[in-house]
Chain A
Amino acid sequence: MLKKSSRVLPGFTLSLGLSVFYLSLIVLLPASTLVLQAAEMSLKEFFQVVTDPRLMAAYKVTFAGAAIASILNAIFGLLMAWILVRYEFPGRRLIDSLMDLPFALPTAVAGLTLAALFAHNGWVGQWFDVAGIKISYTFYGIILAMVFTSIPFVVRAVQPVLEDLSEEYEEAAASLGANKAQIFFRIVLPHIGPALTIGTALSFVRSLGEFGAIIFIAGNMPYATEVISLMIFTLLGEYNFPAASAVALVILFFSLVFLMLIQLVQSYYAKRYKSV
């Protein structure tokens, strides 16, 4: 009796039923349509489509871009979160709320703005141009767009955990003779590790699928700066629904694998923390 009343939501079966129904409607139904559309092809055709050389080049660009972008986000997102949590300075609240801007802004607007800013005659781009570095319409532009659209994942994941980590631990470590690097790597990093990993992985998965921001800045040159989401768009332009679905499934597959890995990391840390 006591156990039952401790749950806020009514009846296990009812809530489970509702959740499963909702999940089916919102997630499984669209996903299964994708499979159905792709199923118009034989397995051989499927592999032929998804391993087309131009697509292979696009996978390479997309995965490499997402990897670099998420590593950059891990480093600078952590720094950002650290500053927001540990320092009090004028404009801190403003910067804190600006952190969500990439989520709020339509990605196409972000792409257009970034492309203009970093074009060889743009406000920022002209200075890079002097040094011979082109950003808009190159691979760097893709990374830039991916960084922009997914940095909040890292910041917002790490921030609350950092807030939890009281400075006393660091002071205690310092009083025992630990240097700054030791404090960071042995006290701070293990504590925020799971959140940082999850934030980075989410940023990676998001970058894989990003379309709006990227197509405006990528230049979209075949074999050089085409991303997977553009290839799907292109295939749709040819009314080739099965092929588009097939490519979408490939990206979906990799995203699911990464999401599962995140789950594994999360449960690994959860267990470790429990045993401590």
Chain B
Amino acid sequence: MKLTRSKQLVLAGAALLFSVTGQAASQEILNTSYDVSRELFAEINPKFQEFWKKESGNDVNVKQSHAGSSTQARAILQGLKADVVTFNQVTDIDILAEKGNFVAKDWNKKFPNNASPFYSTTAFLVRKGNPKNIKNWDDLARADVKLVFPNPKTSGNARYTYLASWIYANKEFAGDQDKIKDFVSKFLGNVVVFDTGGRGATTSFVERQLGDVLLTFESEVNLIRKEYGADKYDIIIPPISILAEFPVAVVERVAKSKGTLDVATAYLNYLYQPEAQRILASSFYRVHDSAVKTEFAAQFPELELVAIESIFGSWAQIDKDHFANGAILDDLLKKAHKN
């Protein structure tokens, strides 16, 4: 069928009109998240859209944006219109509260469990049959073991890894600072490549066959094994590791101006609902809902999970002591380099 020019124009106009009115009836929110949660939220978002339709009768379109947690926070500070953040680091939400009041100062009280609907820990992925016989953190500081994890300066994931090794050493050496530092610098010295983010490290370990152990979130370790074949990798859950909470917050300043405060809040609340918790657990994240917990118990071996506050104080303190320029991490890296 050949349309005349005027008919084409009418059609185009109608399409435009339709899209404008269509937008007015439904809302759109942007969930800004860390690098490796892409598939997770791709699964959760359509379920929430159904849920919200039932709940309020309105349509909502949840968009996703993924990059390193800190990169995302910086993007929001510089104008990215995110309605909610689902990060893997408390500091990255804190910075949004400090600079320009993007989130409430008491954001971690706004939702249950320190505003963290799910959590994980640092675990190890080793090659099939565990050829280097890795059992615990002390094996990772052995001279014959090569490690892969991202750069703690650029990746929240790697910060947890670094702090988890510290937590192990703290227990092992009963708080003796020199011995802890010695251990952690040996541990850092075994790293063969520092990628800037979690997915980069996965590529190095899986595709490039670098290193004997990949350290990342338990969730990611399981996903990699599922993705690349259970016949190629084994999972090691160390007896002690870090409690890695994944904080969420409504970016109130943006949501208020966009008029999406309600749906944004509902979105984060939804993450605590059994339905979402089940999706989270099947993506190998540990959750709080007790029924879901029992259902997935086999998937999550028991281990001693240490909260960072019990050893390091607040995240602000950790940043100052460990990750700031010239702080302990820099020192230990220097030491590791010289060895």
Q: 18 A-B Cβ contacts within 8 A?
A: A119-B208, A119-B209, A136-B208, A137-B204, A216-B200, A219-B194, A220-B196, A221-B193, A221-B194, A221-B337, A222-B330, A222-B334, A237-B71, A237-B153, A238-B70, A238-B153, A238-B323, A240-B325
Known: A222-B333, A233-B154. A238 touches B74 (CB 8 A): no
B70, B207, B323, B326: the one within 8 Å of A52 (CB): B326
| Cα of A135 to Cα of B204 in the assembled complex, Å | 14
Which residues from 116 to 160 on chain B have a C-beta closer than 8 Å to any C-beta of chain A? 151, 153-154
| Size band of the interface chain B makes with A | 20 to 34
Which A-chain residue is minimally distant from B68 (CB atoms)? A237
Query: In residues 224-276 of chain A, which contact B (Cβ within 8 Å)?
Result: 224, 230, 233-240, 243
By a CB distance below 8 angstroms, the chain B residues around A240 are 325
Determine the chain A residues whose CB is within 8 A of the CB of B330 once the complex forms: 54, 222
> With an 8 A cutoff between CB atoms, is A116 at the interface?
yes
* B residues in contact (CB < 8 Å) with A: 68, 70-71, 73-74, 95, 151, 153-154, 191-196, 200, 204, 207-210, 319, 323-326, 330, 333-334, 337
Other than A137-B192, A137-B210, A234-B151, give 10 A-B pairs with Cβ distance below 8 A. A52-B326, A116-B208, A119-B207, A220-B195, A221-B337, A223-B334, A223-B337, A238-B325, A239-B70, A243-B325
Neighbouring B residues of A223 by C-beta, 8 Å: 333-334, 337
Which of B71, B193, B207 has a CB less than 8 Å from the CB of A220?
B193
Least CB distance from B250 to A in Å reads 21
Across-interface contacts of B326 in A (CB, < 8 A): 52
- Nearest Cβ distance between residue A109 and chain B, in whole angstroms? 14
Residues of chain B within 8 A (CB-CB) of A196 are none
Q: Which of B95, B151, B191, B209 contacts A239 (CB 8 A)?
A: B95
Distance in angstroms from A145 CB to nearest chain B CB is 15
Binary per-residue interface labels of chain A (135-149) against chain B in the complex, 1 for a CB within 8 Å, 0 otherwise: 011000000000000
Instruction: Convert A205-221 into 0s and 1s, putting 1 for each residue whose CB lies closer than 8 angstroms to a CB of B.
Output: 00000000001100111
Q: Which residue of A lies closest to B188 (CB)?
A: A222
Question: Which residues of B are found within 8 Å of A119, using beta-carbon distances?
Answer: 207-210
Tell which of B194, B207, B330 has the most Cβ of chain A within 10 Å.
B194
- CB B94 to nearest CB in A, in angstroms, measures 10
Partner-B contacts on A (CB < 8 A) = 49, 52-54, 115-116, 119-122, 136-137, 215-216, 219-224, 230, 233-240, 243
- Nearest first, the 10 A-B pairs at minimum CB distance are A223-B337, A220-B194, A119-B208, A222-B333, A219-B193, A234-B153, A237-B70, A237-B154, A137-B193, A121-B209
Q: Determine how close the nearest CB of chain A comes to the CB of B129; give it in whole angstroms.
A: 19
Contacts of A243 in B (CB 8 A): 325
Which residues of chain B are near A234, meaning CB under 8 Å? Answer: 151, 153-154
By beta carbon, the residue of chain A nearest B333 is A222
Contacts of B200 in A (CB 8 A): 216
- Report if A235-B208 is in contact (Cβ < 8 Å); known contacts: A137-B192, A219-B194, A221-B193: no
Q: Which residue of B lies closest to A54 (CB)?
A: B330
Known: A137-B192, A219-B193, A234-B153. A54 touches B334 (CB 8 A): yes
Cβ-closest chain A residue relative to B336? A222
Instruction: Name B208's closest neighbour in chain A (CB-CB).
Output: A119
Residue pair B74, A236 in contact (C-beta under 8 Å): yes
Instruction: Enumerate chain A residues within 8 angstroms of B73, measured Cβ to Cβ.
Output: 239
Contact B337 A120 (CB under 8 A): no
B195–A239 touching, CB < 8 Å:
no
Residues of A within 8 A of B192 (CB): 137, 219
Asked if A53 contacts B334 (CB within 8 A), the reply is yes
What separation, in Å, do the CA atoms of A215 and B68 have in the docked complex?
15
- Asked if A239 contacts B154 (CB within 8 A), the reply is no
Whether the Cβ atoms of A120 and B209 lie closer than 8 Å is: yes
Residue among A120, A215, A239 with max Cβ neighbours from chain B (10 Å): A239
Report A157 CB to chain B, min CB distance, Å. Answer: 33
Residues of A within 8 A of B325 (CB): 49, 52, 235, 238, 240, 243
Question: CA A252 – CA B324 in complex, angstroms?
Answer: 25
